[in-house]
Chains A and B, each alone.
Chain A
């Protein structure tokens, strides 16, 4: 079966711009989580959506937002980009959450210049 698909794979944006990242989960998976990975901080939880509702949110500023559609596909938006937002953004899907395990996509590498 198809895995978790993230688009685009690479992105270069200018400081101050906004960006939207997309994640298509495994068919049947209703939980989608987003993570930011940097060399200094490691993997940091952004938010989790389940059946179109945000179930939990990490400690990130309001510039980071997301949503989930009725087909479970999810988008993440970052407004007013800062240099420090440069990171690998990972999406993970699960049937229903932690106890079912998470399947990660290959990520979107965002570079802010």
Chain B
């Protein structure tokens, strides 16, 4: 069972377009992280959102945490080829053996010139 559902799974757009990717769950998170992973590399932390309703901006990337702390979105303005990669959301969720970092399956983004 995937605790964090990300959509869309794949996204192919042209340079200059805007896009939004989503991360949803039926669970409530204390906080949530977004990572970007490029081919052949490990994920790189982009942001941590903590407060329900919080909005954080990182240059052309805008991250929003839902009011109920069950969902989050990432909006990219004027996408560039350098934004290409796998975008992953992650949250600390309680399992049988304690808290563990759970990842969504990710949104694979391709930005073409």
State the A residues within 8 Å of B (CB).
Answer: 4, 33, 35, 41-45, 48, 55-59, 90, 92, 98-99, 101-107
CB distance from A52 to the nearest CB of B (A): 17
Task: In the A-B complex, list the 10 residue pairs whose CB atoms are closest, starting with the nearest.
Answer: A104-B42, A42-B105, A43-B103, A56-B98, A98-B92, A45-B100, A101-B45, A57-B97, A104-B43, A56-B100
| Interface size, B (range) | 20 to 34
When the two chains form their complex, are residues A42 and B106 in contact, meaning their CB atoms are under 8 A apart? Answer: yes
State the B residues within 8 Å of A (CB).
Answer: 2, 31, 33, 35, 40-45, 48, 88, 90, 92, 95, 97-106
Most chain B CB within a 10 A radius of its CB, from A42, A57, A107: A42
Across the interface, name the chain A residue whose C-beta is closest to B48. A101
A16 to B28, CA, bound (A): 41
A108 to B33, CA, bound (A): 23
